[in-house]
Amino acid sequence: MTDPNPLSQGLERLPVAPTNLVIFGGTGDLAKRKLLPAIYNLAHEGALPERFNLVGVSRSDMPDDDYRGLAIEAIRAFSRTKPDEAVLEKLLDEIRYIPGTFDDPQVYESLVATLAELDRNAGEPMARTFYISTAPEFFPLIVEKLGDHGLNVHDGADVRIVIEKPFGTSLAEAIDLNKRVLEVFEERQVFRIDHYLGKETVQNMLAFRFANGMFEPLWNRNYIDHVQITAAEDIGIGTRAGYYDKAGALRDLVQNHMLQLLTLLCMEPPVVFSADEVRDEKVKVLHAIKTPEKIDGMAVRAQYSRGVVAGVEVNGYLDEPGVPEDSSTETFAALRLEVDNWRWAGVPFYLRTAKRLARRVTEIAVILKPVPHMAFGGQHVPANQLVLTMQPNEGVSLSLGAKVPGTRMTIRPVNMEFLYGTAFISQSPEAYERLILDAMRGDATLFTRNDEIEALWGIIDPILEAWERDKSSTVPQYDAGSSGPKEADALLLPGHVWRRL
């Protein structure tokens, strides 16, 4: 182990080794909307490595100059800060573009030559980060080709690979993809990205749980009655029918984002906040979730039908452009899960996600058990609820019973609220900025490990298979703009109700 750099102590932004960042899918939507603007913002803030080069790889045939133009346009359109022209020019001054299909050996030969030239210019071997933001079917192909051309290792510098989601569409695919990736790269080189983990409010869950002594005594089966995790969207699938109809709500949001939220909520405190310590604890939670073979009563799916959202009449899912008329893809998924371990045994965790619901909200509601005896004339007082909201209004609220002013002892719930916007000065950076920097730095804490991804799929796979087998029954429908199908109520144990959206 080398001595720590004495100059790094106290710096808010830790140094990142000189890096060449290669984006596969460099002309794609993700690159244009998120990756290139995130890289620009890192440059603007002075957070990029002291030596940094950007290389785009994609199918479209164009010279470097045209790719520079595309990148400038994307950054101007989607950057969260107004670009400083001098920084923008210098960032893209030396940008390189390699055209070709991802199975073409010429692409990788050009990449080898380009990266070697950039190293020569720098006078030293620079770290390499390959960011795979292509369609998922190209993930294994690109990984294998990188290995074939010796791009998985680099003498004197680190090589890392960032793989976008979805990482497989089933457990079998995830296992296969892991195997193929790990035949070429070591696990420490692999960064499976779920941008949700880069969000400040998601990371704040760890701070909230492990930096506040008041919650720990309550954070278990003795005091928590049940938990509801909701990721509701008011929008439909838009122009994403091609992707969405193959994926569905379960793969799109539950398998990754929502189960990640659940693990952060349920995990034991790590000894230290290091990548493997945190991920070890998350994996333990996932292993404690057992999906029964018969999913009746623990999983519900549905599709939105025609309805009204924000006063405007909207199509049903089957009427959306590009959706097959006999599609059984779910746009609503709700689950009841149990985390079968000492802390959480018997506590139901309800997960619910959908398109075209009444409003957009992502939240975790922890509903505590009611008081054992109500001394105030038998009136019903709702149990305390702790609600962590990720969007649209990032914050935490705690509902408490309080006396209504007057001559009678009437109790009603009131909220104590903490809102991010009122309690901190700075804006949250885009999740991709944080994650790109972490990947270049080699910090995998906010990325998904191989065993974690397989454990995630292990929970979802039986449900997907059961729905796949069940071709005979029709998929329940819910009105667009509503709070979901009534069938979802069947998941709830006696005394529980879905939180109002």
Partner 1 sequence: MSEDIWAEQDTNPDAIEAALRELLHERHAANEALAPARVLNLVVIVDREWKGEIANRLERAGRYHASRTVLCTVETGRTKLDAVATVSYQEPQGSALGVMHENVEIDLGPSHLRALPTIVDPILIGEIPTVVWSPHGHQDAVDALLPLIDVMLLDSDDMDDPTEAFARAEHLREHAYVVDLAWLRTTPWRERLAATFDLPERLPALREIHELEVRHRETSMASALLLAGWLSSRLQWAGSHLLLWDGRIAGQAHNFNGDVVVALRTAEQEAPGLAGVTVSCTDGRSLSLQRGEGGLDASERTADGAERTWKILGASRGEGGILGEGVRQALLRDPTYVPALDAARDLCPA
Residues that bind partner 1 (CB under 8 A): 2-3, 5-13, 15-17, 43-46, 48-52, 84, 86-91, 93, 122-123, 359-360, 392-393, 417, 419, 421-427
Q: Are 56 and 96 within 8 A, CB to CB?
A: yes
Residue 202 sits at φ, ψ, to 5 deg, of -70, -45
Residue whose pair of structure tokens reads 């006396």 in the numeric block: 403
Q: Are 415 and 384 within 8 A, CB to CB?
A: no
The DSSP result for 313-359, as a single string, is: EE--GGGSTT--TT----SEEEEEEEB-STTTTT-EEEEEEESSBSS
* Largest separation between any pair of C-alpha atoms in the chain: 83
Q: How far is the CB of 426 from partner 1 (least distance, A)?
A: 6
Q: Are 332 and 489 within 8 A, CB to CB?
A: no
Q: How far is the CB of 397 from partner 1 (least distance, A)?
A: 12
Tell me which of 257, 287, 380, 496 is the catalytic residue: 257
User: Nearer to partner 1 by C-beta: 417 or 465?
Assistant: 417
What is the length of the chain? 501
User: Nearer to partner 1 by C-beta: 212 or 426?
Assistant: 426
Q: How far is the CB of 427 from partner 1 (least distance, A)?
A: 6
Q: Are 186 and 154 within 8 A, CB to CB?
A: no
Compute the C-alpha angle 180/433/133, nearest 5°: 35
User: Nearer to partner 1 by C-beta: 13 or 188?
Assistant: 13
Q: How far is the CB of 94 from partner 1 (least distance, A)?
A: 9
User: Nearer to partner 1 by C-beta: 16 or 197?
Assistant: 16
Number of Cβ within 10 Å of residue 94's Cβ equals 14
Q: Helix, strand, or coil here: 140?
A: helix
Q: Which residues pair with 402 in a beta bridge?
A: 412
Q: Are 481 and 356 within 8 A, CB to CB?
A: yes
User: Nearer to partner 1 by C-beta: 359 or 369?
Assistant: 359
CA–CA gap between residue 338 and residue 287 (Å, rounded): 11
Buried/exposed 153-187: b ≥16 CB within 10 Å, e otherwise: ebeebbbbbbbbbbbbbbbebbbebbebbeebbee
Q: Are 198 and 435 within 8 A, CB to CB?
A: yes
Q: Which residues pair with 57 in a beta bridge?
A: 24, 98
Question: Which DSSP category does 489 fall into?
Answer: G
User: Nearer to partner 1 by C-beta: 45 or 276?
Assistant: 45
Q: What spatial distance separates the first Cα and last Cα of the chain, rounded to whole Å?
A: 52
Q: How far is the CB of 93 from partner 1 (least distance, A)?
A: 8
User: Nearer to partner 1 by C-beta: 376 or 424?
Assistant: 424
CA 23 remoteness from chain centre: 20
Is position 257 annotated as part of the catalytic site? Answer: yes
CA–CA gap between residue 313 and residue 211 (Å, rounded): 46
CA 135 remoteness from chain centre: 17
CA–CA gap between residue 164 and residue 149 (Å, rounded): 22
Q: Are 215 and 335 within 8 A, CB to CB?
A: no
Active site residues: 257
